[in-house]
Amino acid sequence: MTQETALKILKTGRNVFITGSAGSGKTHLVRKYISWLDEQNIKVGVTASTGIAATHMNGITIHAWSGIGIKDHLTQSEISHIAEKSYLKNRIKKTEVLIIDEVSMLHDYRLDMVDAVVREIKGDDRPFGGMQVVLVGDFFQLPPIGRRETDPEIWQEEKMSEFVYHSRAWRSLDLAICYLSEQYRQEDKEFVDILNSIRSQEVDEKIKTKLQKKIVKEIDTDTIHTQLFARNINVDKINNEELNKIEGEELVYYMENTGPDALVSILEKSCLAPSVLRLKEGAKVMFVKNNYDLGFVNGTQGVVRKCDKKNIYVETKDGDMIEVERMDWTIEDDGKVKAKVSQYPLRLAWAITIHKSQGMSLDSALIDLRDSFEKGMGYVALSRLRSLSGLHLLGINDKAFALHEEAFSYDAKWQEESSLLSGMIESMNDSDLEEAQEDFVRSASSKYKEKKKDTKELTLEMLLEGKDLKEIAKERNLTLSTILEHTEYWKENDPSINIYHLRKMLPVTAWKNIWSAFQKVGIVDGHRPLRPVMEVLKNKYSYEDLRIVRLFL
């Protein structure tokens, strides 16, 4: 199916599953659809199963969007408790379209949990409370990772029932299948043929020979920015070797914990941050937790520019300098913290696991597939690259070519369903298709809803469109102070709201000076006052400047 046909289907309001090979333009199609929804004033929730995937579309994780967090199960009491949170009610009640990217990495029970929360909040027993649901992904990727309750170096064999298409919610959606057939990421036809041969499970000796020619004995790691390995033990070995090559003082940061040993042990095993973090200035690192306010998510990469006993500064690939603080991982019961671990959300990242690479697009990589043990692993690793010339292999085994049999069977079924649907859409009269699209717009667009929007809601919509405070004030003919009041209201009621773009309103130096002044003054009577900060800064900046920075504290 072409992107054009898939877009026509999306605009009718059908629940849709968008799939296709790596580089087939799934994310590009979704971005086009989001733009159309914005033009129609249809509220869309943009989410993904992982933080790094969510950043591709300026969204948040489905766990944060729905309020389910990382729980594996929700009781009815817990669902009701989540549904009482005002910021979640405000967000979900107004959402007419929910998009979940990289859905293949989402467990089946978690999609069921999201469905239950949305139905509860909307007070509507239809699937997902009657909103349009758009699922995006490729099940030839790796399956969801289970909890590492035993050996953290080796993944447990995944049961196929954990793939999300086995969930009750998936079955209830009556999804239209849009299987994209065009190729966009790889411009190298030879490489596309190799990937397609793995995808179709028709890897012959000719394909194997081509890959064998990419095996290298020596490699200049200075020119290869990413190394991918199957197991954590290999990743740790490479990262420690690279760290030892850097001259300079090594700083060691230990994980802190509170709570019963058994619960702390569970947190330490499931937490991606290491118990002992070793760093030097110049070390390549990756963030392992989401913090949208500070501008990083699980998977964001960067370089340590400064570190001492208390402070770590990381420069991301985008050039942003982030002061990294300790973050907490907790186990809660009925709203009470039973156990907690605290660590800087970083780990060394000259090398990363293949599973962690999902969602990335790389110009070059050094990949070791000699130790492939999970079906789909070879396809995921190779399809991260844009061309064959960027591929450097340490080796490859036959299991690297294998795919999950059930996913392969489902994929064939989806291709057939997509082909039939494509033919049906192309044979429809334009007037019938346009009528279906108009019906959807009338039912979902805020333009056709009688209730007048609250002034704060209008500000929120413009914030989520990426507009800064001055632009909003000008368009709405309001003062900057008023728009700041609205923004402070939403930030207080919805801590996960993505307003990171507002950081660009101030020069880096101004931002650092104001941030440092706030840290110096600290919290007074439960809030952060402006006047003492202004005195520290000797009236160098405006109160509006201070309030902008305070949004991120």
Give me the residue label for tokens 């953290």: 152
Q: Look at residue 33 and tell me whether its pLDDT is greater than 90.
A: yes
> Percentage of the chain surpassing pLDDT 90?
26
**Per the structure, how many domains does the chain have?**
4
In this structure, the answer to whether residues 210 and 179 fall within a common structural domain is: no
Boundaries of domain holding 254: 231-352
In this structure, the answer to whether residues 170 and 25 fall within a common structural domain is: yes
Give the model's pLDDT for residue 306: 92
* Mean predicted confidence (pLDDT) in 114-141: 92
Q: Look at residue 189 and tell me whether its pLDDT is greater than 80.
A: no
Give the model's pLDDT for residue 146: 56
Q: How far apart are CA 24 and CA 183, in angstroms?
A: 4
Residue 66 belongs to some domain of the structure:
yes
In this structure, the answer to whether residues 274 and 343 fall within a common structural domain is: yes
Q: Look at residue 280 and tell me whether its pLDDT is greater than 90.
A: yes
Query: Who's near 58: CB < 8 A, 6+ residues apart?
Result: 46, 466, 498
Q: Look at residue 324 and tell me whether its pLDDT is greater than 60.
A: yes
Give the model's pLDDT for residue 157: 33
Q: Looking at residue 61, which CATH number applies to its domain?
A: 3.40.50.300
Residue 329 belongs to some domain of the structure:
yes
Specify burial of residue 316 (Cβ count, 10 A radius: 0-12, 13-18, 19+): middle
Give the model's pLDDT for residue 54: 65
* Mean predicted confidence (pLDDT) in 143-158: 42
Which H or E run includes 342? strand 336-343
In this structure, the answer to whether residues 395 and 411 fall within a common structural domain is: no
Structure tokens at 455: 């002034």
Say what the pTM is: 0.67
In this structure, the answer to whether residues 291 and 380 fall within a common structural domain is: no
Q: How far apart are CA 102 and CA 116, in angstroms?
A: 20
> Which of these ranges, 52-61, 238-247, 287-296, 349-358, has the smallest mean pLDDT?
52-61
Residue 191 belongs to some domain of the structure:
no
In this structure, the answer to whether residues 64 and 105 fall within a common structural domain is: yes
Q: Look at residue 450 and tell me whether its pLDDT is greater than 50.
A: no
> Percentage of the chain surpassing pLDDT 70?
89
Q: Look at residue 53 and tell me whether its pLDDT is greater than 70.
A: no
In this structure, the answer to whether residues 284 and 309 fall within a common structural domain is: yes
Specify burial of residue 228 (Cβ count, 10 A radius: 0-12, 13-18, 19+): buried
Short-list 173, 150, 146, CA closest to 161: 146
In this structure, the answer to whether residues 378 and 359 fall within a common structural domain is: yes
Q: Looking at residue 491, which CATH number applies to its domain?
A: 1.10.10.1390
Residue 449 belongs to some domain of the structure:
no
Give the model's pLDDT for residue 532: 87
> Which of these ranges, 122-126, 151-155, 444-448, 519-523, has the smallest mean pLDDT?
151-155
In this structure, the answer to whether residues 26 and 137 fall within a common structural domain is: yes
Residue 79 belongs to some domain of the structure:
yes
Give the model's pLDDT for residue 12: 92
Give the model's pLDDT for residue 413: 93
Residue 444 belongs to some domain of the structure:
no
Residue 123 belongs to some domain of the structure:
yes
Give the model's pLDDT for residue 159: 37
Q: Note whether 377 and 400 are within 8 A (CB).
A: yes
Confidence of residue 359 (pLDDT cuts 50, 70, 90): low
Confidence of residue 55 (pLDDT cuts 50, 70, 90): low
Structure tokens at 63: 């766990």
In this structure, the answer to whether residues 348 and 359 fall within a common structural domain is: no
In this structure, the answer to whether residues 290 and 362 fall within a common structural domain is: no
In this structure, the answer to whether residues 464 and 320 fall within a common structural domain is: no
Residue 379 belongs to some domain of the structure:
yes
